[in-house]
Structure 1
Amino acid sequence: MKEKVDYIIVGGGIAGCTLAYHLIEANQSVIMYDKLNTQSASRVAAGLYNPITGRKMVKTWKADLLFPYLNEFYREVERRTNQKFLVEKEIYRPFHSVEEQNEWMSRSGDENFIPYINTIHQKSLNENYCDQYGGISLANAGYLNVGLYLSSVRNYLKENGVNIVEENFEVQKLKAYEPLVEYNNIEASRLIFCDGAMSLSNKFFSWLPYKLVKGELLEIESDLSENNRIINRGVFVIPKSKNRFRVGATYENYDLTLTPTDKGKSEIEAKLKELINVDYKVVDHFVGIRPATKDRKPFVGMHPNFNKVGIFNGLGAKGVSQAPYFANQFARFLVNQSELDQEIDIKRYYSLYDGETATFDLNEE
């Protein structure tokens, strides 16, 4: 006899776990396929969430929606799992010049920025920093202990009836024709791919304009003696424990291997030496492939031909901040037929779809 569920979710990283959580909260039954990969982008991510980003220090896209919800969501999951994985810390960003300092002094009274500014420092904050012009301390920031979050949510999902199958999902075995999707001995109302960089080779969604990014990070030991804040300019320095810090990250579009490189290490260290002026020792080196997109907006929605097959992907380096809000929106779309934000809906790329997957044999190797 076939097992019947509302949703099959493929992938158990930040996107898959967060969507599954929202679906079971909406009383939907879920089965998840996720073969643990210690080098997946989610599992090596530093977990930083930051309201002011980029070289030009602009407010993160949709920050006024994303950041209040992420705090509410992660705190709720912490209560339900009896764990603590959201670490609120201000981010200190040194200024490069007096002009930049003056620009932020003028912005400090702007109501659009007030919720995200703690303090404008006009002189050096710490002798261990390279910050002769001072810097800005940002509020509503911090990092997610991604590994603990994922393990906590997986346990919560299992306790609430979600079967997590720790094996690779074989797309060629999927039957995706109306009115249900069928995989092995399971029938589901819908299937959602949350498989990160793997979607680039997925027959259903390979036509979407991904821009995969390799990211390398270092873990260092240092007596920087800074556990109260994250430092971020060129690279971030996140305090993980006493004298241990996570530093990164690189952005590489061409070498997409899961191999740490001397080039990546050198790039991080060069930027680190422009940020702090204390000795350190590199004790570990990580790498992951971020499922980024060409327009830097997530891929959310249903396939143009197979309307029982959907995608929740493309969160790139902002999965921690984007996953909660958009998983909630997508779950409401799936369950209650609510509208999707047009900026994330994959309908914006339907014109790129040539119909090839309308005719491929899903049982063909």
Structure 2
Amino acid sequence: MKKVDYIIVGLGIAGLSLCEALLKANKSFVVIDKGANAATLVSGGVFNPVVLKRFTPAWRGAILLDTAIPFYRSLSKKLQVEIIENTPVYRIFNSIEEQNNWIIASDKKELASYLSTKLLKNGNNAINAPFGFGEVIHSGKINTALLFKSYRSYLNKKDALLTEIFQYQELIHNASNVVYKNIEARQLIFSEGAAAIHNPYFSKEYLIPNKGEYLIIRAPKLQWKSILKGSMFVIPLGDDCYKVGATYERGVSTFEKTEAAKEKILTSLSKMISCPFEVIDQITGIRPTTKDRKPLVGKHNEFKNYYFLNGLGTRGIMGAPWLASTLVDYIENEADLPSEIDISRMN
């Protein structure tokens, strides 16, 4: 029997962040994950502390960003791969009114550090932006594919990863520990993302799956290296390729690629750029979202050594490091859990 402090179920960005928080707390663990369909893997990987539709602060944007950037820098050094790129987001203005709203927002205390007060003119003939751009600073992107490939390799070397679909019927709950097959642990954390809809210990009413689709395009004449935001994100991938999206389909949990999503992305893209391009791929992912758009963090109401970290939604890349650290602090040190994220609010 292998004995550890924790079993973690799921290795999306929530599970990965839990690993790092537990390592920092000198706790041992095993992660159980099948290694496919994590929403983080197909996401744009963008971190950005501003809601760009309305020019308002993202929920807890400052603290999440201040935790996330050092977290990914440290991971990059630890894994010896470049996973973080500090790239500004350029928001396309659609009118003079939007320019004015941006200036007003950039003067607010909570946004002054993130919105440049200088309105930028468009000098790229391949981009449709007659009213120019607003620049979001302290933003960027994470190479999620490289991150997870490297981290799974790291966990395998530590003998801390079991690559399989978690079998709930194999779980034995005791008063002081949990047992899964040949693994015994003091605590169990479910961080399965949208796959939690199959978890018998997790209420199906808590989570709303939100399907997102992206297109990968090749556009040699676009020649753009920053993140472009209009009605969709256009995210540079290198070699004249870009990830464009994403769509939102609340309540949908299938991974099927749809023509409707493809057409929606292409319609939006045609308003943003005017150069020729070709579609080379279409990818899908399922985001774990909640009714109140806040994460689900905390303990099971019956089994006291079962915990959850889920519902990270569209800002999981930015939010996961702080949320994971908060949960581990709550479990190990009996620290307060903010009521707005406590899963008990759903009961």
Normalising by structure 1, we get a TM-score of 0.91
1:255 Cα deviation from its structure 2 partner: 4.0
2:33 matched to which residue of 1? 34
Does structure 2 retain, via aligned residues, the 8 Å contact 1:104–1:120? no
1:132 Cα deviation from its structure 2 partner: 1.2
2:152 maps to 1:154: yes
Report SS of the residue matched to 1:136. Answer: strand
State percent identity of aligned pairs: 35
Does structure 2 retain, via aligned residues, the 8 Å contact 1:250–1:264? yes
Of stretches 123-132 and 208-217 in structure 1, the one that deviates more from structure 2 is 123-132
Distance 2:205 2:19 in 1: 23
RMSD: 1.6
Deviations along 1:30-68, whole A, 9 cap, x unmatched? 01111111x331221121112222522221111110111
Distance change in 2, residues 1:122/1:42 (3 Å): closer
Report SS of the residue matched to 1:301. Answer: strand
Does structure 1 retain, via aligned residues, the 8 Å contact 2:45–2:143? yes
2:289 maps to 1:295: no
Distance 1:348 1:244 in 2: 43
Of 118, 121, 124, the match for 2:119: 121
1:203 matched to which residue of 2? 200
Distance 1:132 1:315 in 2: 35
1:241 Cα deviation from its structure 2 partner: 0.3
Distance 2:121 2:78 in 1: 43
Of 310, 315, 320, the match for 1:323: 320
Amino acid at match of 1:77: L
Listed as ranges, the matches of 1:330-349 within 5 Å are 330-349=327-346
2:40 maps to 1:20: no
Report SS of the residue matched to 2:203. Answer: coil
Of stretches 43-52 and 304-313 in structure 1, the one that deviates more from structure 2 is 43-52
Q: Which consecutive residues of structure 2, in runs of 5 or more, have no partner in the other structure?
A: none
Aligned residue pairs total: 347
1:58 matched to which residue of 2? 56
2:252 maps to 1:266: no
Distance 1:154 1:122 in 2: 41
Distance 2:325 2:91 in 1: 31
Of stretches 90-99 and 111-120 in structure 1, the one that deviates more from structure 2 is 111-120
Amino acid at match of 1:261: T
Distance change in 2, residues 1:312/1:210 (3 Å): same
Does structure 1 retain, via aligned residues, the 8 Å contact 2:40–2:317? no
Distance change in 2, residues 1:133/1:208 (3 Å): same
Report SS of the residue matched to 1:114. Answer: coil
Amino acid at match of 1:16: G
Does structure 2 retain, via aligned residues, the 8 Å contact 1:237–1:246? yes
2:138 maps to 1:168: no
1:91 Cα deviation from its structure 2 partner: 0.5
Amino acid at match of 1:3: K
Does structure 2 retain, via aligned residues, the 8 Å contact 1:176–1:309? no
Does structure 1 retain, via aligned residues, the 8 Å contact 2:106–2:116? no
Distance change in 2, residues 1:304/1:104 (3 Å): same
Does structure 2 retain, via aligned residues, the 8 Å contact 1:7–1:189? yes
1:9 Cα deviation from its structure 2 partner: 0.5
Listed as ranges, the matches of 1:1-365 within 5 Å are 2-37=1-36, 39-121=37-119, 123-159=121-157, 161-350=158-347
Does structure 1 retain, via aligned residues, the 8 Å contact 2:127–2:222? no
Distance 1:26 1:269 in 2: 46
Deviations along 1:209-248, whole A, 9 cap, x unmatched? 2111110001000024434311011100001103110101
Normalising by structure 2, we get a TM-score of 0.95
